[in-house]
Amino acid sequence: MISVNNFGVKKIYFGILIFFMVVVYLFITQKIGKDREEQFFIRFDNSNISGNIEYAKIGYHGSVFKIEGIEKEFVFYPFTSELNNNQIFYKIAKRGDLIIKEVNSDTLKLKKNGKVYFYKFRKPND
């Protein structure tokens, strides 16, 4: 026969176990997310990009775009500022707009309707 006190202690231990499992899960998912963000940045930073946008959208907590004729998507984390007339990248970038970014450059250029918007972006661990 289980006493009421014994049952209460088991509930407390179970609650503590669940709490630690949640903490470990959050730690692991945060680590995976940081690693993924770093991989996105390395691919983006090491690429010489010049071409027309196939699509731009939000994804991976940043901006995602694909260039016509290039298989892979690019993910970056742009700053909205006066350099780009405070225009959010994924909202302004449309199919056919031109993107230019040189290897290891800290600025991406978006050419749209005769205007040029400059986007600086966040690097991992910034």
**Helix, coil or strand: residue 119:** strand
Please give the residue range of the domain that contains residue 14: 1-126
The b/e string for 109-124 (b: 16+ C-beta within 10 A; e otherwise) is bbebeeeebebebeee
Compare 126 and 12 and report the one with higher pLDDT: 12
Average pLDDT over residues 46-71: 95
Compare 21 and 4 and report the one with higher pLDDT: 21
Structure tokens at 74: 């690019």
Q: Scan for tokens 């800290």, then name that residue.
A: 106
Is the whole-model pTM more than 0.75? no
- Counting the structural domains of the chain, the total is 1
Quick: pLDDT tens for 75-114.
999 999 999 999 999 999 999 999 999 999 999 999 999 9
